[in-house]
Amino acid sequence: MELRPGVIAEREASGPHMEPSASCPAPALSAGKTFRVLVGVTGSVAALKLPLLVSRLLDIPGLEVAVVTTERAKHFYSPQDIPVTLYSDADEWEMWKCRSDPVLHIDLRRWADLMLVAPLDANTLGKVASGICDNLLTCIIRAWDCSKPLLFCPAMNTAMWEHPVTAQQVGLLKAFGYIEIPCVSKVLVCGDQGLGAMAEVATIVDRVKEALSQRGALQQS
């Protein structure tokens, strides 16, 4: 991936590229094009699925992927299992020392053609709906170019999902032009059963492909 000189040069992918699945040919990006997806991950237990989600996105030929994580999300996955560049809050502050230095949340916002926040926990949902931007991920979202797709996957306990404020906040995000990938009903890790679980990885990847197709980026192989 390329950002402004000096922003990315020192960052290496944290693991090997995972091989595409052999089930059926994946749609390919239009000839000569790459498409850049920035995945945001927040502190829901559904962050456990981040390695699988990234590997499935990398199954799409020609797709470039990077990940932005909140600090709490780090509790649920190992960086060694993420085969792409992984950014967190410390990177923004370590890169910026004086006025001429890059501003990471702006450079990542420029770099990405599509943003996918999966999972979007209740805390970050509330922040984004209110315009709060107190970490790298929420700063990117606050600065997002709304002419480009932003997809979000809510994930939280059923009681939190059913609280009246949740529908209001999701409605605000959709009013901003962001695209909801709805949560599903299942037995949650806490033992409760009901709506609130993040959509399945296959569903999320299909919605990303759909967004790419709508932008004319995908061609069928």
Token couple for 86: 């992984």
Catalytic residues: 190
Nearest alpha-carbon partner for 64 in 5, 2, 4: 2
Pair 127, 133: CB distance under 8 Å = yes
**Strands 114-120 and 184-187, sheet pairing:** unpaired
CA–CA dist 153, 198 (Å, integer): 6
CA–CA dist 179, 91 (Å, integer): 28
What type of residue sits at position 73? A
Which residues does residue 86 pair with via DSSP β-bridges, in sequence order?
67
In 3-state terms the chain splits into helix, strand, coil percentages (rounded to 5) of 40, 20, 45
Ordered alpha helix ranges (H), 79-200: 89-95, 104-111, 122-130, 136-142, 158-162, 164-175
